[in-house]
Structure 1
Amino acid sequence: MIAWPLLSLVLSALVCGAFYFKLSSDRKALEESGLKDAALLSRAYAQQLIHTLEAIDQTSMELRDFWEQSGGHVRLEQMRGTGSFVAQQFRYITIFDRHGRLVTSSFPIADKVSIEAQDFFKFHRDNNSDALRIGAPRWGRFVKKRVIQFTRRLSDADDRFAGVLVIAVAPEYFVQFSEATGLGNNGLLGLVDYDSVIESTLVVNGREGAGHGALVRVPAEAIGGPAVTLNGDQWFTDGRARFFSVQPLNSYPLAVAVGIAKHEKLAPYRQARAVYGKIAAAAVVILMAFGFALTYLSMRLAWRQYKADGIREAYRSTTERASEGFFMWQVIAGSRGEVVDLELVDCNERGAALYQRQKGELIGARLSALYQPFFFDELLNICRVVIADGFYEDEFETRHGSLVSARWIYRKFVHSGSRIALTLRDITEKKQNEHDLARLATQDALTGLPNRHWLTSYLPEAFARATAGKSIMAVLFIDLDNFKNVNDSAGHSAGDQLLREVAIRLRAVLRQPTDHVARLGGDEFTVVIETAKSEEEVSHVAGRIAQILQEPFLISGRDVVVGGSIGIALYPRDASDPETLLKSADIAMYAAKEEKKGTYRFYSSQYYEKIRSRLRLEQALALAIRNDEFVMHYQPRIATRTNKLAGMEALVRWAHPEQGFIPPNEFIPLAERTGLILPLGDLVISKVCAQLALWQREGGTVFPVSINVSARQFSEGRVSSHLASCLARYQVSSHLIEVELTESAMMGDLKTVQREIDALNQLGVKIHVDDFGTGYSSLSLLNQLKLDVLKIDRAFTAQLGSGREGEIFFRAIVSMAKALGMQVVAEGVETKEQLALLQTLDCDEIQGYLISAPLQAERMSALFRQDIFVM
């Protein structure tokens, strides 16, 4: 009666001990995983943050150079509107003169301020250092928020102190693009220096925030060393312990701090502990019950056996559902007790799958029969270590001849009695992710070429070698000429394919291992010739590149010709540092593109002045849009049969305060090239809707107005959304607005074009095809899209009356439009003879100087009351 309860107690202790051992091992593995993850995340984010700090450094140098070259006449208020030489993400930029007085700022500052007493001002005044200075986090007096100040000395032509450039960046900016998915709900991601913590640069609960869970101070032992576990009460304001890693940022006096909440990382351990606790408690109760029951009658023995089988089945079920391969090996000893072999006595299905065998094939097999002699000896030596130490774990890459199918494996050996338990886990994906993180830092994902970050690291080394060898070094800046047309007409997938093909051709041009090609981004590439014997040799390479880019590319089953413009800068002739050399090549490329696409140009200082002039014109256009220096003119459209007013076309004019009216052919192409066509297009739509609302309030009949929209407006889906907003704001009926598209606007991605046209149709807006016959005319495209009006270009109207061929061609266009259910408008009608022919050709409406030139809104109002136009 005593033996069975005692045996039950012993067995209960063994069960609890086994669970305790398992839980301890799992907890240790999770803690080690947390430390590794924290170190990996800190290194990955440190690389990203170094790029960000380098961008700030580069921006400050560009602004300094621009300020010094302009003689101190830079106005950040104007540059901010165009994005010129100023990165748009840096909103708070100021320049102070040598007396600490404000000169210019990218944001409004009402106070008359002086920074003469500031430490950073004194530092730059007293030190002739060109380096970027990074200040401690502080409350920004002008921006009204916590900021980090990046400052750089400004010098005059005599290299005397001329002032200070200040870029103030909110600490939150340094984490806004970070991937915080690996931090968990209470993780911490921060930018720190070695004495303080910038509390607002934290990622908490998967989003940016400040204060909650903030780091009290930086532990010295964590800086640049391995990840550590920090106690929550001592180091964090929320009292949570974390796995913590601090990664210094190379030459910057800052570091990245990453903390992964310990309680989140150990959540699987707590869940397992709860499950194992219940199992252990159940086992103890069952064993004790069996022990006492067996003292009374033998039937309890059967009951105990039944429960034991249930526990074993639960264990088997647990191991079979595990994601790891589990193996139990029986040690086979020799005559002197040494390990000579092992026999597999058990494994789960996952383990058998890793060996690409069935479970039944493996159980009973010996290690010597499964492995070749070399692998067998290696595993046998590991098993001897396991028996001596009780435990062994490692990660390894499988080699040729291995039985395991995975490339990377984590394995853990545990010795118990005469058996060794082995756990295998496939960590190939984890290792691949680590490799990809390292590769993405310097490689372009699309083309496989080195990227901009690689180039900025490589050029200083190449400069040093060229200086030591007294050789010529050349940088070729390449921009594809017609890449946007490929994207618009064939889609972005075709554009990506084209970029990959261009990369292959550029690699083929390289002459020797010291030549390199990199992709800077978009359709821009750079070729670096580290050792050139002469300018003629560089010209030969550039000419070869221009030639291979002119040859057709087979993209999506059709030949595509793009060409490329190439700018060349030479060291030491054109620049004394890598940054200036790259910028000079960029300037030369723009000169080549403007003079003659598909060719190359060497850098000249005249190009720089030309670009500055163009920049001033761009700034004037941006200022004109901001100040609304534009007026609308309206050209009437007349019904051909009745000579009555049918509608009008809105035409924008730039009323420059000094130069008077600037024709559209001078500023529209500039707006298209710089992207200012988007805000200008929005302004035109707003002004037309406002004018229609005014005409409605004046009473009388109001006629529809057609508005020209650019291909870029249409492809970005801005037209329907902005038009809907203006119609609602000015309470204008949608039947009074019509949209005119050129054929090129419809040559982008068909799904995007169809979606925008459907949106306009739902608003009740008619759609015109403008200048038909001059673009990429496609009858199948006109048939697929629901369009209302076809406007025939003036080039075809001018042919009427000069021969029968022009009349036949015009009649064919009208017949086609009628078959598609579209109205026809003839543009550029200037003679009564043309009008008479158009009346016989069944043309619905006409527009041109025979009727009227474009008129201002006041003069157009008078035409509303005119019943019939006499021509």
Structure 2
Amino acid sequence: MLILRGQYWRVLVACSVGLSIALLALVWGFTWQRLASEQAIKRHSASIQQQNVCAIIAENLEQVLGRGRLMSIVAEGWFNGLESEARNQLVAMQASDRLFLYVALYDKAMQRVYSSAPFADRPSLQEAVAEVVADGRSRGIHQVRLAPRLTEAEQAWQVPLLMPVSGADGQVRGAILLVLDLGYFLQLYQHVDLGHTGALQVLRADGEVVAEARQAGLLVQDGVFRDVSSFDRTGQVQGSVNGDFMATGRDTLSSFYHAPDAPFYVVTSRETQDILADYHATRRRFLITMTVLSAFIVLATWWVAYGIRRQGRYALALVSSNQQNQALITQLEEEKRRAFVLASHDHLTGLANRRMFNELLNTHLQQARRNRKHYALMYLDLDRFKAINDTLGHHVGDLLLQAVSQRLRAALRESDVIARLGGDEFAVLVTALDHAEDAIKVAEKLLEVLSAPYLNLDGHDLQVTPSMGVALYPRDGQDVEALCRAADLAMYQSKRAGRGRYTFFDAALTPVDTRHSNLERRLPKAIERGELVLHFQPKVRLSDFQIVGFEALVRWQHPEFGLIYPGDFIPYAERTGLIVELGDWVAEACCQQLAQWRDAGVRLVPVAFNVSAMQLHDEALAARIGQWLTAYDLPASLLQVEITETSLVESMDVASRVLNELEALGVQIALDDFGSGFSSLGYIRTLPIHCLKIDRGFINDIRNSHDDAIIVNSIITLAHNLKMKVVAEGVEMQDQLVYLKTAGCDEVQGYFFSRPVEAAAAEALLLRPSMMPS
């Protein structure tokens, strides 16, 4: 895809077209060369074959003439006084040679002195005999002449040959006439394949056709002559020439054989079109094949070029879209940063707020478990701050809070964490102390710095003192909740002791909480005994006020204390590791309740349940949920898992794998309490999140707090641009509902529509046509 960016795709299109043209030129060039070569081979083979046939027939005719010469030698005895002996020999020779029909002997006066059969001498024959007697001076094959042809139909294949007959002195004494049965001779070669247009001909030296044989049979063409000058111009005994020698108007390949002293030519002819018939059939097949192949190459080239062009346009559109998306992501990140600052910092002092402080405190405690350092958590409360607000006004009180925050920043290190928890309450985490006693020095320094006068606060000089409570890690607690509780108890002990001082936590000052001890002890048995129940809070779609889902919330039906909410026993479950067993019970209970509703014919909507950090690190979670869905025959789309950002901190890789496996099952993933953490954008970009749930802290004062409104609008815009749904939690008033609907929120849940209710009440809610507010 990278090479297709910009205009590179045009180069690829040009290259593909050029390559196809080159390929077509190469293939067609090879094809024409092959066809031309095959045509030349076909012509050459036909020429060789014809020449061989001509040579064989001509040599056989020369052998016949040789036998005729022997007869002329035998006939010499007639003129040497051996007439009886010569007669007997001639009769014997004629009887043994079927090629000669009859023999006649003429003396020098052109009188016939011997004849093997009666016939009439024509004048033309008398003239030919006279020429032989007058011109012959020696016995030789060059003196053989072809006498005029006989004109009778039954004598059409009789070819008369004249040879001189010499005496003992070498002078010509007469002539011998041998009548050759050329039809019988040519029948010996009827097995030769001449083709549909082929012809085998014997010609006189002047071009007269003596005899002709074709595929259909033997022919005599009386008076037809052909031009033999083309044969003479070759200067060869045999050869092949092209021309219209058959007088058909079509090109013919003619091969000939002509011995220098022979009185005839042997010619084999065949039309070029007939010779190349097989070649033309092959050529047609080649051309059809090449046309189809060329069409395929052209179509393939068009398809490739079209595909490259389309991909190029897609790439350009993708580049443009990526640029737009990058700009949108940058904008969303900026909105996220602003939302994070607003959500995690106090707008008055710029210090971290309670949510941010708890996150940072949890992170530092995880580091403390590895580096074995001491950490001090200090809670600070300004003494009699309410009196300042009441007498001098909130404006002066705000200036005092800003001054306190500035002194805290100046007195502490950059690695220490400072937060405003609310009102005039501050928290300080002093990190990585080598010795626990170092916390005393820090506490004394802060007490001294914060007790110094605050001058010219809107024209007022003030002096306030802090009451401080200090809890040490790991001595006073090893988790956020325990440390915060210890620091808070120590701070109130400072107030009870007279204010303006610091107090370290002392466990002896805290009475034993029998209720909490009882809950922690009985929690494992509560799961076994079935004391846990589910309550369901509906999620209402703002477009039509239909119930589109439930959030399942676990409750403990304690036999002594009654209904106990999760905030009282979930921390114990997390601390003791029972949270995995508790989470499994909730997931299976959701499946069981959905199956019961289905069997009762109630409309089913997705049910969401919370998954803790420990569960997200259990790689077998998705497999167990899949087994429950199969056992209760439920589609995975009826379950939704809700996670929080804090549950992803410890092992992001394992949590990501578990969430991806859940998504593969078809289970929807929702990010709960969105905005309360500090890395939400990173999570939603890398994890399979389908829904964002806005923390109720942003909903409480959405109509009066401009900052909260900005945060909520930013979250809704972010989620919709990332194709996610948005659910607002904690909706309790109608003006909140109106604002969220106007802002484009998809769904809401809260007391405005319904508190969490038991399964039977939830079923009744599903039967209602809508949750339209009155």
Higher relative contact order (CA 8 A, sep 6+): 2
Q: Give me the TM-score of the superposition, normalised by structure 1.
A: 0.33
Q: Give me the TM-score of the superposition, normalised by structure 2.
A: 0.37
